[in-house]
Structure 1
């Protein structure tokens, strides 16, 4: 089946249970295959990666240089036998900065590449379904788009704090408390990841935040396994440079296959 004819099998993949679990895991692989079949979409992936590499590389080089200078000053005057401490500190600093840079890019890289990610998702939907999402009133308003994006991030923050804080305190109780906190934290992370990677397609319909959450829930268990594998990919520093556009692609394909066929025309804000 070609990339431009995927809509023919929408109904065939609306499975739940074990089939849904396996399907959720498979979407990053489907995304890789889809992008290989449609090389014209490569620019929407490569340009954000290039921007992130330049920004991340510049920050890492500057921070590493400043850190090494600080270590040199700290170690000045030590005897030769203690020089191994300098090498140890340099190595630790390099690793810590590598992880920190990756985490910073995960937080801000999506913002830098968001215009291209939105365009990537739109093009993917056209190829996957054979038609473009219908126009929604107000979709061309830059001010409204920015305001909705800010509200989306704020509501995610409220969700994280509202659920994260109780889980944090529950985790102080050994045994069952630790288990509940661990499972709950993973579940919260999976939910946030699903919201992020389904959002370009859901936002084109101007859905409310609660409706977006609802579709994550209604797509269970496939959304759980999709979110779990995506969370793992974006949690690896620098691997997430490739994982973010890949997961945007996977999330849009998931939306087209498992959410769009059930979405009512009036389900928008």
Structure 2
């Protein structure tokens, strides 16, 4: 029961982030700028993937040339490639948007955190470290999502357990990215951030899964990004690293 309450608490932090940006419309618009830029890049990339998915499927499955059902199999592979690319886009959207818009989201997160001016080094000096941390996180994401991608082809398992695990993994790493600003403000290194998130796993998953599911809806990721940053700042301040 406590785990369920904590999961609900994580969802609640995101909803509180929505409430915060709703009351502070200027900051919401401020946070949309980098999200719109990142979204445009992802739209182009997904269009290219969608238009070339069948060619990629044919390239990846030369062994199926002699199969009577090769076309149907390759269509399935092409669909899986696109859905896999879409899921990867959802997971990495926060990291790319935060990297592009670090000066924007640092100010937004600090405002939610009750800090008028963010302490620490200027954003251009912390950018290399942020990129490195995002690449490390991406490596962990791929370690989990690539096996899940192939497990998705397993009958029954791929349509039941795998989507749930995928949402949990994606949600966890979304929370990793979104909580970075608030935790770095408190001087926490990457290993300390991961430790805190694992130690508060139900809250972490509640927040991250809610964000992940919303980010799967076209355009919602852009609109909800400032709220996700605000909610993460509240969660770090009140629950993870008060």
Q: Same fold (TM over 0.5)?
A: yes
Determine which of 27, 30, 34 is the counterpart of 1:47: 30
Counterparts of 1:8-19 in structure 2, within 5 Å, are 16-19=2-5
Cα distance in 2 between the residues matched to 1:236 and 1:111: 22
Cα distance in 1 between the residues matched to 2:154 and 2:38: 42
- Note if contact 1:16-1:222 (Cα within 8 Å) is conserved in structure 2: no
Cα distance in 1 between the residues matched to 2:151 and 2:43: 36
Q: Which residue of 1 aligns with 2:14?
A: 28
The structure-2 alpha-carbon separation of the partners of 1:167 and 1:248, relative to structure 1 and needing over 3 Å to count, comes to same
- Note if contact 1:155-1:209 (Cα within 8 Å) is conserved in structure 2: no
The structure-2 alpha-carbon separation of the partners of 1:126 and 1:179, relative to structure 1 and needing over 3 Å to count, comes to same
The structure-2 alpha-carbon separation of the partners of 1:191 and 1:59, relative to structure 1 and needing over 3 Å to count, comes to closer
The structure-2 alpha-carbon separation of the partners of 1:155 and 1:53, relative to structure 1 and needing over 3 Å to count, comes to closer
Counterparts of 1:100-249 in structure 2, within 5 Å, are 106=93, 108-126=96-114, 139-140=120-121, 144-176=125-157, 179-249=160-230
Moved more, 231-240 or 168-177: 168-177
Cα distance in 1 between the residues matched to 2:228 and 2:183: 15
Q: Which residue of 1 aligns with 2:76?
A: none
Q: Which residue of 1 aligns with 2:52?
A: none
SS across alignment from 2:114: helix
- Note if contact 2:178-2:232 (Cα within 8 Å) is conserved in structure 1: yes
Alpha-carbon displacement from aligned partner over 1:197-233 (angstroms, at most 9, x marks no partner): 1111012234232322222221221221111111122
Give the unaligned 5+ runs of structure 2.
48-81
SS across alignment from 1:126: coil
The alpha-carbon deviation at position 240 of structure 1 amounts to 1.5
The structure-2 alpha-carbon separation of the partners of 1:109 and 1:194, relative to structure 1 and needing over 3 Å to count, comes to closer
The alpha-carbon deviation at position 59 of structure 1 amounts to 10
- Note if contact 1:44-1:119 (Cα within 8 Å) is conserved in structure 2: no
What is the aligned residue count?
200
Alpha-carbon displacement from aligned partner over 1:110-152 (angstroms, at most 9, x marks no partner): 444321111111111126xxx988x6xxx31656512211111
Cα distance in 2 between the residues matched to 1:26 and 1:55: 26
Aligned CA RMSD, in angstroms, stands at: 3.6
Give the unaligned 5+ runs of structure 1.
1-14, 65-95, 262-269
1:250 to 2:240 alignment: no
- Note if contact 2:108-2:230 (Cα within 8 Å) is conserved in structure 1: yes
The alpha-carbon deviation at position 249 of structure 1 amounts to 0.4
Q: Following superposition, which runs of at least 4 residues in structure 1 exceed 6 angstroms of deviation?
A: 54-61
